[in-house]
A = this chain, B = another copy of it.
Amino acid sequence: MFTGLSAFPLTPTGEAGIDERGFRKLVERLAAAGVDSIGALGSTGGYAYLTREERSRAARIAVDAAGDVPVMVGIGALRTSDVLALAEDAQNAGASAVLLAPVSYQQLTDDEVFGLYEDVTAGLSVPLCVYDNPGTTHFRFSDELHGRIASLPNVGAVKIPGIPEDQAPARVAAFRNALPAGVALGVSGDQFAAGGLNAGADVWFSVIGGLLPEECLAITRAARHDAARAVELSQRMTPLWKLFGRYGSLRVTSAAAEHLGLIGSPNLPRPLRGLPAEARQEVADVLEALEVRA
């Protein structure tokens, strides 16, 4: 499950709810491209904005549309009792794994975050991936806390934020040291993925992989045998990484999916808004220059 390219699709959502047809199409496309797993309802999949019913429905669509490709489903919520209900729904939908970030309103303590994972992992029958995303949760894990949580039953992987290439070997080694054997290490932060994979991470949890699976599979496969080639393929996408930095990966991916004709507009639930016209043009220009096709 936790190896290679894990692609995180958008869940196109307007004020009337999820565009289920659009979502199904995005997932089918990933399965057809041969990604190693699909991460439904991640941050890019807008999990934090959707109701329990919408999330249950999206999980079922994802599992169905993914065919033989295993699906991990995001179960994060502010309240533990909601997370437990979402974990049950995800498992009932056929998820092969669940993804959990310590979503915060009040700043959480280390003991509260440990308690959250303790409460949730106890009842799981599929592996859980610990989702470390300080950009959205504003919680910072220490390596020590990662190690404690990863030692709980049913923890299968840890998804860490992007690490600049020059720091990746040391950080990946430090994480390996902190995590029990058998717990997979996954990198995110698309622009840094080649460096992370080259440094020995097991899996790339990818935003852009949810839209451009072939380009990302090429990077992932190259990292297995030709580190320099993986870096080169990633560097080719620098104009896209720059747009991610400027506008955020979610809004850029949303505009890109629209430009490629895969989903309609609007596809982000308010208060989120699509990019303004000028920024959309930049996204279109970059996709054209990269010769990306749907």
Contacts and interface: CB of A to CB of B under 8 A. Distances in A.
B49 A248 contact: no
Most buried by B among A15, A50, A102: A15
Interface string A72-115: 00000011110000000000000000000011011111011101
A248 B112 contact: no
Given A106-B43, A135-B107, A136-B106, A269 B81 contact: yes
Given A106-B136, A136-B105, A248-B107, A116 B80 contact: no
A270 B116 contact: yes
A282 to B, nearest CB: 16
A140 interface: no
A272 interface: yes
Number of this chain's copies in the assembly equals 2
A: contact size bracket? 20 to 34
A148 interface: no
A242 interface: no
B48 A112 contact: no
B48 A272 contact: no
B105 A48 contact: yes
Interface of A: 15, 43, 48-50, 78-81, 102-103, 105-109, 111-113, 115-116, 119, 135-136, 138, 248, 250, 269-273, 276
Given A112-B273, A115-B273, 17 more contacts: A43-B105, A50-B79, A79-B270, A79-B271, A80-B269, A81-B270, A103-B105, A106-B248, A106-B250, A107-B136, A108-B272, A109-B273, A111-B276, A112-B270, A115-B271, A116-B270, A119-B270
